[in-house]
Structure 1
Amino acid sequence: MFKLGINLTRSTTLVLKRTMSSQESDVLFETLNNAGIVTLNRPKALNSLNDSMVTKLLPQLQQWESQKTLVIVKGAGEKAFCAGGDVKEAIDKSKGPKFFRTEYNVNYVIGNYKIPYIAFINGITMGGGLGMSVHGRYRVATEKTVIAMPETKIGLFPDVGGSYFLPRLQVNLGLYLGLTGDRLKGSDVVKSGIATHYVPSKRMHELEMLLSRCTNEVEVDSLLNKFHEPLEEFSLAPHIKHINYCFAASSIEEIIERLEKVQNDWSVKTLKTLHQMCPGSLKITLRALQRGAQLDLGQCLQMEYRLACRATENHDFPEGVRALLIDKDNNPRWQHKSLADVDDDYVEGYFKKLPEDKELKFFKANL
């Protein structure tokens, strides 16, 4: 009887230790039936990705690809799937490139995943959160989903494969979203092509349980289609014609000229937004999206890595992060006061190849 008491106490202690250690981890990995479950576990930071998280994600995702039937990725807490990358870490000249290198490798693995990869994008999903979801086969949005690529506001550009997926959205929608950082919510995220299914948040736990029992992709597909609910009309539908026309222009200046011709509430608001963005970022972003339309995901990520490394070395990205996220004075002093000041040499300088030993290599390369 006494021995049994000791064993019970010891096993209880082990359980407590295991629970405590998993609670401390910034990303959790569990097996549920046939599924590998990833939980991004920094709810107070809206599950923003840091170097520690992406360093753990890369080998685990690679390992599970040959061991599981499917992988589900979700965010801890009620507010966010993943609000992006930890940009305060990313602006560091030495830490930044290391973080981007691993993060982009994770994006590449997701984009080439051989088994169903299902992202539950419930809540805020921005920047790096889209990199953790949009390249996978299935992306499930809920009424709480809010997506955006707001990088031009902080002196960066839509990375994590943004140059690959944004130009491939319908009717120049991706160029509009990438340059303005506009947000889409709920069923709009499916209408835009960023999510594949729409399921109410109250049903997500049930969906996770049933998905974990699936034995092949046909079952996964069928189950997701059963849970998928009818969509409301796309909120941008009245503006699609103008988005397609304005954002087909070959330069930022011409986009602005076309917006000025439209002259309605939407175009006035869009012009105001563009004038708040970093001029250098707008020009670099447009060029990256134009080139990305002709490249595969791996090539896009390699291009973006050059841009990201240069961003950590230049003025605008650290300054944007300072103004909007550190000092929060919302008064960034950009390198260029206007679009006219941003010349072609400056933009092209970002795209130049890095020294061979500094170029992005994929840890699981099949390029």
Structure 2
Amino acid sequence: MTDKIKFEKTGDWGVVTLQNEKALNALDWDMVKAMRAQLMQWASDKSVRAVLVRGAGERAFCAGGDIRWLHDTAKDDPAHAAEFFREEYRNNSLIYHYPKPYVALIDGITMGGGVGISVHGDFRVAGDSTMFAMPETGIGLFPDVGGGHFMPRLHDDVGLYYALTGARAKAADCMAAGIATHYTAHDQYEALETALLGAPLSEQTHADIEAVLDRFAGDPGHAPINDIRADIKRLFSGKETFDDLMMALEKDDSDFANDTLKILSRMSPTSMRITFEQMKRGGALDFDENMKMEFRVVRRIMEGKDFFEGVRAQILDKDRNPKWDPESLDAITDEDITYYFNELGDAELILP
């Protein structure tokens, strides 16, 4: 049991509250196991018609997974560390296939693992504090938790852009990109929760919930992603290889291309190549096949070097100066990247 996550039944709802506030509601292994077990129980409970997931406090919905624990554990036992991801990915799959409406209130920081427990549900409600990102290429990882499924399916290749750069998206961008389904202003957020949990849900549960969300929906304002959408589509779309993408950026003299190259120069070369391949493959896979693919990759990343160096530079020492290995894109072969995607034999992720 853990007191970092709370489960309640309120009216027709099962309510999940992440309450690991000191860690910005980041998910640890016990939280993931508890959440999956409770969701499975509610799935077969006829008195629960829908699920609501929220984060405690003002700052975060869920800032990701317990990166420090993963770093420390994987150094000694990468196979054991990877078991956290096995449980997390099984939970992501459960949410994706959940038989009842699933609503995530993503007002606050929503990154990494927090994306995995929100974006695959039916409704994602952004607020004025929403800050979405998948910043994994900056710590030697890749945008997992189903990123390989939902990000390639965002229009105009904005998903590939977010995946490689780790760019942040506030509420307006989340709406414009298709990450969020609704926006509610901060001063209406509490009233929205009250209305949702107090709403009598009929057999038309999905429609009942959408009616409440629409009643509280607002205009998040201008979406900066739309200012660069044409550039993203022009330079990111239709590239067969990561080298093709880099060549397109290097040949382009726009501010967008130059800014993007500066951002990518800070990321793990291995992570960027893995991420490009993940997006390419994931765009053609169903959800569970994508999760199996992502588990193969993360299992092998736990045995590598860049994850530990990325966490050291960004989270532990905070010198923001990682020494990637290999340090250049040219030093990484296609065979190097293919290795990460090879099947794991007896260690494969089994779903459901």
Q: Could you say whether these structures have the same fold, taking a TM-score greater than 0.5 normalized by the shorter chain as the test?
A: yes
TM-fit CA distance, 1:148: 0.5
More off after superposition, 94-103 vs 74-83: 94-103
Separation in 2, partners of 1:54, 1:95? 15
Match among 278, 298, 302 for residue 288 of structure 1: 278
Is 1:330 the counterpart of 2:320 in the alignment? Answer: yes
Q: Which residue of 2 aligns with 1:305?
A: 295
CA distance in 2, matches of 1:106, 1:359: 16
**Aligned-pair distance for 1:179?**
0.4
Residue 112 (1) aligns with residue 129 (2): no
* Contact 1:147/1:183 (8 A) holds in 2: yes
Q: Which residue of 1 aligns with 2:70?
A: 90
CA distance in structure 2 between the aligned counterparts of 1:96 and 1:331, rounded to whole angstroms:
25
CA shift at 1:207, angstroms?
1.4
Q: Which amino acid aligns with 1:88?
A: R
Tell me the equivalent position of 1:13: none
Q: Distance in 1 between matches of 2:335 and 2:86?
A: 25
Distance apart, 1:214 and its partner CA: 3.3
Shift of 1:38: 0.5
**2:342 matches 1:352:** yes
**Structure 1: which 4+ aligned runs deviate by more than 3 Å?**
none
Structure 1 contact 214–220 (Cα < 8 Å) conserved: no
Q: Does 1:99 align with 2:84?
A: yes
When structure 1 is superposed on structure 2, of 254-263 and 194-203 the one drifting more is: 254-263
Decide whether the 8 Å contact of 1:89 with 1:95 is kept in 2. no
1:138-149 correspondence to structure 2 within 5 Å: 138-149=123-134
Find 2:232's aligned residue among 243, 246, 250.
243
Distance 2:175 2:150 in 1: 14
Map 1:135-284; keep pairs closer than 5 Å: 135-212=120-197, 213-215=199-201, 216-248=205-237, 249-284=239-274
Give the corresponding residue for 1:29.
Answer: 7
CA contact 2:106–2:127 (8 Å) conserved in 1: yes
Measured after TM superposition, the shift of residue 301 of structure 1 is: 0.5
State the one-letter code of the partner of 1:37. Answer: V
C-alpha separation between the residues in 1 aligned to 2:306 and 2:234?
29
Unaligned runs of 5+ in 2: none
Counterpart CA distance in 2 for 1:104 and 1:181 is 21
Conservation of the 8 A alpha-carbon contact between 1:242 and 1:262: no
Deviates more, 1:109-118 or 1:322-331: 322-331
Q: Which residue pairs with 1:80 in the alignment?
A: 60
Q: Contact between 2:61 and 2:105, CA under 8 Å: does it hold in 1?
A: yes
Gaps of 5+ in 1: 1-20
Counterparts of 2:129 and 2:220 in 1: how far apart (Å)?
14
CA distance in 2, matches of 1:300, 1:90: 22
Q: Distance in 2 between matches of 1:186 and 1:255?
A: 28
Match for 1:131: what amino acid? G
CA-to-partner distance for each residue in 1:71-104, whole Å, 9 max, x for gaps? 1001111000001111122232143211101100
Contact residue 4 and residue 31 of structure 2 kept, 8 A: yes
How many pairs does the alignment contain? 340
Structure 2: how far apart are the matches of 1:231 and 1:87?
31
Shift of 1:33: 1.0
In the aligned structure 1, how far is the partner of 2:348 from the partner of 2:170? Answer: 36
**Which amino acid in the other structure matches residue 284 of structure 2?**
Q
Q: Deviations over 1:274-302 (max 9, x none)?
A: 11100000001000100000001101100
Instruction: State how far apart, in whole Å, the 1-side matches of 2:243 and 2:8 are.
Output: 50
Pair 1:55 & 2:33 matched: yes
Task: Check if 1:361 corresponds to 2:350.
Answer: yes
2:108–2:127 Cα contact (<8 Å) kept: yes
TM-score (normalised: structure 2): 0.94
Output the TM-score relative to the length of structure 1.
0.90
Deviation, structure 1 residue 61: 0.7
Q: Is the 8 A contact 1:142 1:187 kept in 2?
A: no
Match of 1:128 in 2: 113
Deviations 1:161-193 (A, max 9, x none): 000000000000000000000011122111110
- C-alpha RMSD over aligned residues: 1.3
